[in-house]
Amino acid sequence: MQYRLIPPCFYILGKDKDTYIPAVFKTRLYYIACLINVLQKYGATMTGSNAANPLFDIINEYSNSAGMSEALDQAQMALEILLLEDRTKCGVYSILLNNIYNSFPKLVTEHSSKSLYWIDRIMDWYRLHISCCIFVNWPNNRDKISEFLDKIENIYEYIDIEYGDNIALFAGMHDMRYWILVMLRRMQEEFVTNVKPDLIKNELKKDAASDFNSFDNTIKKLLEIKKPIGKKESYKNLKYLKNPYI
- Has residue 65 got a pLDDT over 60? yes
- The dihedrals phi and psi of 244, each to the nearest 5 degrees, come to -75, -5
- The residue with greater pLDDT, 195 or 50, is 195
- Contact between 176 and 245 (Cβ < 8 Å): no
- Contact between 175 and 229 (Cβ < 8 Å): yes
How many other CB atoms are there within 10 angstroms of residue 138's CB atom?
Answer: 18
Over the stretch 26-46, which tens digit does the pLDDT of each residue have?
A: 999 999 999 888 888 877 766
The stretch 144-163 carries a mean pLDDT of: 88
CA angle 128/131/132 to nearest 5° reads: 80
Over the stretch 73-117, which tens digit does the pLDDT of each residue have?
A: 999 999 999 999 888 887 778 889 999 989 988 898 888 878 888
Q: Which residues does 154 contact at the CB level (< 8 Å), separation at least 6?
A: 104
- Has residue 2 got a pLDDT over 60? no
d(CA 123, CA 129): 10
DSSP H or E run through 104? helix 104-107
- Has residue 171 got a pLDDT over 50? no
Quickly list H helices, 16-103.
22-41, 47-66, 68-88, 95-101
> What residue spans define the domains of the chain?
1-91, 103-246
Of 49-58, 159-168, 210-219, the range with the highest mean pLDDT is: 210-219
CA angle 102/107/112 to nearest 5° reads: 165
- Contact between 162 and 109 (Cβ < 8 Å): yes
Q: Which residues does 5 contact at the CB level (< 8 Å), separation at least 6?
A: 35, 39
